[in-house]
Structure 1
Amino acid sequence: MTKTDNHGAWLTQEAYDRLKKELDHISGPYRQEIVERIDQARSEGDLKENGGYHAAREEQSKNEGRIAHLKALLDNAQVGAAPADDGVVEPGMVVTAEIAGEEMTFLIGSREVAEDLAAGDDIEVFSEKSPMGAAISGHRVGDELSYTAPNGKDIPVRIVDAKPFQG
């Protein structure tokens, strides 16, 4: 399944499939398991002092939040192969940049996606919607620019390298 909404996070097909599998599990069998635990705890009587009931309700709330988050992520995701190896900064690229005089290497993409993609890789992730991510997106290797940090300071950036993520 390929989605092309330009406002969503970039996902490899593998990451999309993994997150979809998680969504199917937590919105199906796992959701039902929680409901059964709540029903079981409810049948034990006084709900005010029923720790099992309250724990199951809290777990249900967290699970419903995760379901909503994954649905929104997957409904708006851009799914496909890694971006072209053309030196242009975009989601799915591992970027090396000199930022305020210090060289850093990081993945451009949503944090949710990056946790899935970069599992096992020790790489920092910057959202393409963050101030720096937005400022460098579309720039090429060798470009020098600056962006305004949330604290109001102008931060100089030089793009050293940009390669597709090979997770």
Structure 2
Amino acid sequence: MKPIPMTQVGADKLREELKHLKSVRRPQIIEAIATARELGDLKENAEYHAAREQQSFCEGRIQEIEGKLSNVQIIDVTKLTNNGKVIFGATVTLLNLDTDDEVTYRIVGDDEADIKQNLISVSSPMARALIGKALDDVAVVDTPSGGKEFEIIEVQYL
């Protein structure tokens, strides 16, 4: 498998989720299965089937997280010299040339993306348009309503 880029914060969150799934959620599901088994006939036992479905989801998520963590490539931009280029992990302030609105995004891994916190995925159209550009460059982002132009007004390696 190819390396999965991620910030340290993102990797830590995945490790926390994995710990919670293994130490809290898994035992809860096992208890629910045991309780449901005591109710009798398993063929018509909705609680049992629901608990087994939860167990399947939980185990799948555990495997997914373990797989990602085994291939993670942690990128710490704070240790890099800021040369004004937009790279993975950079925090970029943009000026929308159509509306004169400013917006700030941080480019993170796919699992860390959260637009409400202005964290955009490295594979998003916005990030793909920004990566490799430098301070004062104009990036054209393809949107359903056409291309939008953004001027890069600040690049920070936080």
Deviations, residues 72-114 of structure 1 (Å, cap 9, x unaligned): 3323322143343332212222111123533211111135325
Could you say what secondary structure the match of 2:139 adopts? strand
Matching residue of 1:94: 91
Structure 2 residue runs of 5 or longer lacking an equivalent are none
Q: Does 1:162 align with 2:158?
A: no
Contact kept? 2:112, 2:119, Cα under 8 Å: no
1:61-72 alignment runs, 5 A limit: 61-72=56-67
Contact kept? 1:87, 1:140, Cα under 8 Å: yes
Deviates more, 1:24-33 or 1:152-161: 24-33
TM-score normalized with structure 1 length: 0.73
Q: Distance in 2 between matches of 1:66 and 1:100?
A: 42
Matching residue of 1:124: 118
Give 1:57's aligned amino acid: R
The 1:35–1:139 alpha-carbon spacing in structure 2 relative to 1, beyond 3 Å, is same
1:1-167 alignment runs, 5 A limit: 7-12=3-8, 15-27=10-22, 30-47=25-42, 50-83=45-78, 84=80, 85-101=82-98, 102-114=101-113, 123-149=117-143, 151=144, 153-165=146-158
Could you say what secondary structure the match of 2:122 adopts? coil
Structure 1 residue runs of 5 or longer lacking an equivalent are none
Cα drift, residue 11 of structure 1:
1.8
Mark the structure with the bigger radius of gyration.
Answer: 2
Could you say what secondary structure the match of 1:46 adopts? coil
Deviates more, 1:138-147 or 1:67-76: 67-76
Contact kept? 1:11, 1:77, Cα under 8 Å: no
Could you say what secondary structure the match of 1:112 adopts? coil
Q: Distance in 2 between matches of 1:138 and 1:6?
A: 21
TM-score normalized with structure 2 length: 0.76
Q: Distance in 1 between matches of 2:137 and 2:7?
A: 26
The 1:6–1:61 alpha-carbon spacing in structure 2 relative to 1, beyond 3 Å, is closer
